[in-house]
Amino acid sequence: MNISGVEFIKGCSAIGAGLALIAGIGPGIGQGIAAGHAAAAVGRNPGARSDITSTMLLGQAVAETTGLYGLLVGMILIFVQPLAK
């Protein structure tokens, strides 16, 4: 079985894309935890609902960038292979 350079690059790109998309697990867990704590905080202090919600949404937006970067890297590895001509 001979593996050429192009096949090796495509295989490594597929493995790398799969590993890059694993980066979406962390933000999903973190956002779920943040939403749960925010709901508990609103339950304890309903008057501060708007402040808690805005802070939670800002934190979730920052956390989501990690998952989006992982998705972008995965898509680049799958669809753009500059070394495999």
Residues in the chain: 85
**Would you state the pLDDT for residue 27?**
86
Number of domains in the chain: 1
In a domain, 66, yes or no: yes
For the chain, what is the radius of gyration of the CA atoms? 20
Q: What is the pTM of this model?
A: 0.72
Average the pLDDT over 38-43 and give the result.
92
**Would you state the pLDDT for residue 85?**
60
Domain residues for the domain of 61 are 28-78
In a domain, 63, yes or no: yes
pLDDT tens-digit series, residues 52-62: 999 999 988 88
In a domain, 56, yes or no: yes
In a domain, 85, yes or no: no
Average the pLDDT over 73-79 and give the result.
89
Please answer whether residues 67 and 24 qualify as being in contact, where contact means their C-beta atoms are separated by less than 8 angstroms.
yes
**Would you state the pLDDT for residue 80?**
86
In a domain, 42, yes or no: yes
